Amino acid sequence: MALSDREQQLFEQLEKQLEDEDPRLAATLAAPAAPTLSTRRIVLGVLIDFVGIVTVFVGLMLPGLAPSIFVGVFGFAVMVAGLHVALSTAGPKPPTPQWLLPELRR
């Protein structure tokens, strides 16, 4: 539901008052931009997953139980890493700590 003009004006006044009274709190409450998925990271993650799947299949074809288990677990770990790379975001940098911003000190 949209705000009326009067409510929008009151909201803007409250926001300005907050920024004037406590700039640290206003900076903390400022909403960061929503992180987005990167096509490059998705492609890289899929390639890493493919390498992990191939490693698991190679582990299945190895003779002996111990080498097969170790290679299979390693392949699974590679697939998890690929999933992490594919789903990680290159979002905005974390905010600068307030103690580094001398203009905000009182």
Residue 70 is predicted with a pLDDT of: 95
Overall number of domains in the chain = 1
Predicted TM-score (pTM) of this structure: 0.56
Residue 62 is predicted with a pLDDT of: 92
pLDDT average per 10 residues of sequence, the chain (106 residues): 84 85 76 75 96 95 92 96 90 62 55
Say if residues 92 and 32 touch (Cβ distance below 8 Å): yes
Residue 4 lies in a domain: no
Residue 72 lies in a domain: yes
Residue 97 lies in a domain: no
Residue with tokens 């998890």: 80
Residue 18 lies in a domain: no
Q: Which residue segment(s) compose the domain that 78 sits in?
A: 37-90
Dihedral angle computed from the Cα positions of residues 32, 33, 35 and 38, in that order, rounded to the nearest 10 degrees: -140
Residue 67 lies in a domain: yes
Residue 85 lies in a domain: yes
Residue 69 lies in a domain: yes
Residue 17 lies in a domain: no
Residue 102 is predicted with a pLDDT of: 60
Residue 37 is predicted with a pLDDT of: 83
